[in-house]
Amino acid sequence: MIIYFNGRLVSAAEAVLTPVDHGFLYGHGLFETMRAYHGRVFKFKEHINRLKAAADFLGWPKLPPYAELSDAITSVLNDNQLTNASVRLTCSRGQGTPRPDPGSCGQPAIAVFASPLPPPLPPAGWSVTTVAFRRNLSSPLVKIKSANYLDNILAKQEAKAKGAEEALMLNTDGFVAEGSMSNLFMASEGRLITPDIYSGILPGITRSTIIELAKAAGIIVEERQVRPEELADADEIFLTSSIMEVIPVKMLDGCPVGKSQTAGRGYFTVKLIQLYRELTAKE
Ligand code: PMP
């Protein structure tokens, strides 16, 4: 595997991070997971904007410019002979003293690697289960894609232990937030509804794209607080993420989604899967 690491293309074995890097010591890091279609990352600018906004929020030194990161991704894809792939860009705060003082750190360490996509979704979609972990509304960790993913990992682990593919996390006010690695939408009474950005969600790039596509197709979209009971009555539920795109949800907490036999794969889900596919093929 060829990796971009701090400005150079190296083998995975050569990409070595010191144990006094604050990403390793304190989880002080950021990342983006992007999807490449035909050798190009979809919504590259949006991903890098989110990353740079998070780095600014944390008071990091400037990250490399867009063109350098874009070239790094292209080289990594080419050198690993991948065109449709998952692309991971990880930034670690860098080497510093062993104390949690980021002021002691030098430049962030930056790694880009690409890997094959996960297997396609089962046609009926995923089962989702509500987990005990809540998205903490007062924590910055829910708004930025920090390398501290313990909440998400534990939520996913809990979902898997309950036989589901994804977790549904509520927030500390008891409203619906998001999946452990995805945003959530539901369709009800002819509208598309998704938790707003104050609900303790990562502002997903796929979420924004789906909202734009839905609005352009004349669908009414509501971004607002969502009560968990509303999901039980929803006609359709789906999840979104850059890698998995649009994921139909067939079961929520052991109950089939929607009243029809389509098990969640209803009009809105099918339509938006199609529109998203068309867009990724075009851009
Ligand atoms: N929420 C969380 C917690 C995630 O990890 C992800 C995956 N990055 C998403 C939402 C979806 O974000 P995106 O559409 O930008 O991939």
Q: Is the full-model pTM beyond 0.90?
A: yes
For residue range 218-272, list pLDDT tens digits in order: 999 999 999 999 999 999 999 999 999 999 999 999 999 997 655 557 999 999 9
Residue 80 falls inside a structural domain: yes
Give yes or no: residues 10 and 98 share one domain: yes
Ligand 1 pocket test, candidate residues 183, 184, 206, most atoms within 8 A of CB: 183
Q: Whose CA is nearest to atom 10 of ligand 1?
A: 182
Pocket of ligand 1 (CB under 6 A): 33, 152, 178, 181-183, 202, 204-207, 240-242
Which range (86-90, 120-124, 161-165) has the least confidence? 120-124
CA distance 227 to 176: 6
Ligand 1 pocket test, candidate residues 168, 208, 239, 241, most atoms within 8 A of CB: 241
Give yes or no: residues 97 and 138 share one domain: no
The domain that holds 274 is classified in CATH as 3.20.10.10
Q: Whose CA is nearest to atom 5 of ligand 1?
A: 181
CA of 97 from ligand 1 middle (Å) equals: 32
pLDDT recorded at residue 237:
97
Atom of ligand 1 nearest to the CA of 183: 10
CA of 216 from ligand 1 middle (Å) equals: 22
For residue range 222-236, list pLDDT tens digits in order: 999 999 999 999 999
Residue 141 has pLDDT above 90, yes or no: no
Mean pLDDT taken over the chain: 95
Cα radius of gyration (the chain)? 19
* Cβ–Cβ under 8 Å, residues 259 and 233: no
Question: How does residue 142 score in pLDDT terms, banded at 50, 70 and 90?
Answer: confident
CA of 98 from ligand 1 middle (Å) equals: 31
Give yes or no: residues 146 and 83 share one domain: no
Question: How does residue 34 score in pLDDT terms, banded at 50, 70 and 90?
Answer: very high
CA of 104 from ligand 1 middle (Å) equals: 31
Give yes or no: residues 98 and 144 share one domain: no
CA of 215 from ligand 1 middle (Å) equals: 21
For residue range 41-61, list pLDDT tens digits in order: 999 999 999 999 999 999 999
Residue 36 falls inside a structural domain: yes
Give yes or no: residues 171 and 211 share one domain: yes
CA of 116 from ligand 1 middle (Å) equals: 18
Percent of residues, the chain, with pLDDT higher than 90 = 93
* Cβ–Cβ under 8 Å, residues 239 and 166: yes
CA of 10 from ligand 1 middle (Å) equals: 28
Give the end of a domain, one of 116, 151, 176.
Answer: 116
Give yes or no: residues 240 and 109 share one domain: no
Complex prediction ipTM: 0.99
Residue 23 has pLDDT above 60, yes or no: yes
Atom of ligand 1 nearest to the CA of 47: 15
Give yes or no: residues 98 and 166 share one domain: no
CA of 43 from ligand 1 middle (Å) equals: 13
Q: Whose CA is nearest to atom 3 of ligand 1?
A: 181
CA distance 11 to 80: 11
Which DSSP state fits 14?
G
For residue range 71-84, list pLDDT tens digits in order: 999 999 999 999 99
Q: Whose CA is nearest to atom 9 of ligand 1?
A: 182
The domain that holds 85 is classified in CATH as 3.30.470.10
* Cβ–Cβ under 8 Å, residues 247 and 125: yes
H runs (alpha helix) in 65-161: 66-79, 150-161
Q: Which residues contact 121 (CB under 8 A, 6 or more apart)?
A: 244, 247, 248
Residue 231 is part of which domain span?
126-282
Give yes or no: residues 102 and 141 share one domain: no
Give yes or no: residues 12 and 83 share one domain: yes
Residue 121 falls inside a structural domain: no
Question: How does residue 190 score in pLDDT terms, banded at 50, 70 and 90?
Answer: very high
